[in-house]
Amino acid sequence: MLQVKIVPVTAFAQNCSILWDSESKEAILIDAGGEAGKLQQEVAGLGLTVKALWLTHGHLDHAGAVGELARVWQVPVIGPHEDDQFWLDQIQESSARYGFPIPEPVVVDQWLQGGEILKLGEHEFEVRHAPGHTPGHVMFYNAAHGLLWTGDVLFKGSIGRTDFPRGNFDQLMASIQRECFSLPDETQFISGHGPLSTIGYEKQFNPFVAGKAG
């Protein structure tokens, strides 16, 4: 059975997700954004073996602990799309600017294009390329459980910022329509910040996108 635990990290309260298979105890982390020690404690407390670190995009609050954890656990970094290389290249500079601890460099082992199927045990996750917040942003969708990890594309009641370098509002809106609103209304999503929601709820009530589905 697929299990999920959300662990907020950094001053930005970024939702790092620990996913694991309850039988094998094999795990992956989505967006290990900071506080590497805290995440190691969580993983150890759950008795898990981490197999990979997945990234939705290259912003420091999503990738800040990835370099250290990849080294400690000796696991590959998967994602995002290569168009976010420039964000990962400046993660140390960005962290200094925000007064965050300076992270270890992030080296991506597998860039994603969209359309790939990633696996955790028998559980499959479809990669969806969703540019706009950043050009290389990806999302992860598990159809069997109706779960989507949206990163900073879509939030409960809001959408991702597009005022960062190479952000694009029109791209973001197109990504939400194509990659989020094409999924069943009952699909539950875990965003990069804030509470969970469903696709159907956002179609109806999100002031940025409500009534614009289809």
Residue 100, beta-bridge partner list: none
Alpha helices in 119-181 (DSSP H): 169-175
Domain boundaries, given as residue ranges, for the chain? 2-205
Residue range 29-51: mean pLDDT, rounded: 98
How far is it, in rounded angstroms, from Cα 88 to Cα 144?
32
Evaluate if residue 214 carries a pLDDT over 60.
no
pLDDT above 70 covers a percentage of the chain that reads 99
pLDDT tens digits, 6-19: 999 999 999 999 99
pLDDT at 93 over 60: yes
d(CA 188, CA 40): 27
CATH 3.60.15.10 given to domain 2-205: yes
Q: 185 by DSSP, 3-state: which? A: coil
The two most distant CA atoms of the chain are separated, in Å, by: 46
